[in-house]
Amino acid sequence: MKSVELIDVTKTYGNGSVIIKNLNLSIQSGEFFVLVGPSGCGKSTILRMIAGLEGMTSGTLLIGGKPANLLPPSKRSLSMVFQNYALYPHLTARENIIFGLKAHRIGKDIVEKRLREAAEMLNLAPCLDRKPRQLSGGQRQRIALARSIVSEAPICLMDEPLSNLDAKLRARMRSEIRRIQRKIGTTMIYVTHDQIEAMTMGDRMAVLHDGTVQQIGRPIDVYNHPDHTFVASFIGSPQMNLMPAVYDDVQKILRIGASWTITRELPIAGGEVILGIRPENIHPATHPASAQNKAIHFSANIIDTEILGNETQLTFLLDHQTWTAKWEGQWTIPDQSAQEMVILPENLLVFDRKDGHILYDPKRSQKVEEVTV
């Protein structure tokens, strides 16, 4: 397996538009690394530059520690799985899977051995003699994945491979792809706009916005400790509640809107900030958190209730701002009714209102002096 490193990579087009800005990524050998972000953030462009399908304006690409900027795609030791499967419609599943091997004139015995192993791994044996039009979307995607597996390339690039599948099939394929990656140990770079895929599949992930990396880390760390308001709002469903506030560092008070204040000493300078809290950290007044001495109690008017089986999402107004809470169980609460709630101060994050960077994360137990990506 091979590592991949991008150093100070920039991508611009002829009209002067900057797609990727000073990108630095280090992907370890055998790692499942996810590039996640909204449409147009540059994640597919990064994948295409790694593959050699698109050139870099500046910067360095290292594959296995060696410069690869000038290598053609065929010399980069990688395979690629596309969003649209890219299968030849006139060939059978078998022929599609081994097409690349035959083009490289690999021996027949080796081809058959790799085909058999990939077909068993992906449960494709019954469909090998069918053509793509006779197969389901999930089977076509598995054929595209099998084609990548039989190549035995040390690096596999995947560009939103599950976006054309229904929700149930996507969930199954997420598990299959992750299981296969662990089994064969390939270095996998996976592009998606789906935060659930990013959270459940990646060893690490990079969150991108407008061609810039906002944060890199393990999915659970990015979720628990976002470095920026964009990351806080993009990762998590429902997204983190974010509300403008002002911190008075003399009186040690957070003023939220016109009428809500929280007495709380923070190791930051006074001024305009953004207060953030995850929906699952807003509890009903009956929650055990209410008994804690530092618990913050408040009342809010419910404007919508969504019962989602094992949990309930509540939308409410707090000082004319719309917030969301996520409670375990099934709650039937009339709209426009007042509901007593509680939050714990250690779950409140404070961001800079000017640039969106984190200022204070209580569970990091210290002021965030600087955000380094």
List pLDDT tens digits, range 336-351.
889 999 999 999 999 9
Task: Using the predicted structure, report yes or no on whether residue 1 has a pLDDT greater than 60.
Answer: yes
In this structure, the answer to whether residues 257 and 195 fall within a common structural domain is no
| 231 within some domain | no
Find out whether 213 and 25 touch, Cβ atoms under 8 Å.
yes
In this structure, the answer to whether residues 23 and 105 fall within a common structural domain is yes
List pLDDT tens digits, range 159-207.
998 887 788 888 888 888 898 899 889 999 999 999 999 999 999 999 9
In this structure, the answer to whether residues 171 and 287 fall within a common structural domain is no
In this structure, the answer to whether residues 121 and 262 fall within a common structural domain is no
Categorize the per-residue pLDDT at 82 as very low, low, confident or very high, splitting at 50, 70 and 90.
Answer: confident
At 365 the pLDDT is 54
In this structure, the answer to whether residues 165 and 295 fall within a common structural domain is no
The domain that holds 168 is classified in CATH as 3.40.50.300
| 343 within some domain | yes
List pLDDT tens digits, range 227-240.
999 999 999 989 99
| 93 within some domain | yes
In this structure, the answer to whether residues 9 and 103 fall within a common structural domain is yes
Categorize the per-residue pLDDT at 84 as very low, low, confident or very high, splitting at 50, 70 and 90.
Answer: confident
List pLDDT tens digits, range 24-65.
999 999 999 999 999 999 999 999 999 999 999 999 999 999
Q: Does residue 132 have a cis peptide bond before it, meaning omega lies within 30 degrees of 0? A: no
- Label each residue of 65-121 as H, E or C: CEECCCCCHHHCCEEEECCCCCCCCCCCHHHHHHHHHHHCCCCHHHHHHHHHHHHHH
The domain that holds 291 is classified in CATH as 2.40.50.140
In this structure, the answer to whether residues 121 and 192 fall within a common structural domain is yes
List pLDDT tens digits, range 88-125.
999 999 999 999 887 777 888 999 999 998 888 888 89
Per DSSP, 28 falls in state: -
In this structure, the answer to whether residues 92 and 197 fall within a common structural domain is yes
| 372 within some domain | no
| 333 within some domain | yes
| 354 within some domain | yes
List pLDDT tens digits, range 211-259.
999 999 999 999 999 999 999 999 998 999 999 999 999 999 999 877 7
Per the structure, the count of domains in the chain is 2
d(CA 34, CA 193): 10
User: Of 224, 248, 278, at which residue does a domain stop?
Assistant: 224
Average pLDDT over residues 287-293: 89
Supply the angle between the helices 108-121 and 93-103 in degrees, to the nearest 10: 140
| 22 within some domain | yes
Task: State percent of the chain over pLDDT 70.
Answer: 98
Average pLDDT over residues 278-306: 92
Task: Using the predicted structure, report yes or no on whether residue 331 has a pLDDT greater than 80.
Answer: yes
In this structure, the answer to whether residues 75 and 208 fall within a common structural domain is yes
User: Of 224, 248, 266, at which residue does a domain stop?
Assistant: 224
In this structure, the answer to whether residues 270 and 148 fall within a common structural domain is no
Write down the pTM of the prediction.
0.90
Task: Using the predicted structure, report yes or no on whether residue 130 has a pLDDT greater than 70.
Answer: yes
CB count in 10 Å sphere of residue 345: 16
pLDDT averaged over every residue in the chain: 90
In this structure, the answer to whether residues 220 and 243 fall within a common structural domain is no
Find out whether 253 and 263 touch, Cβ atoms under 8 Å.
yes
In this structure, the answer to whether residues 67 and 207 fall within a common structural domain is yes
Domain range for residue 153? 4-224
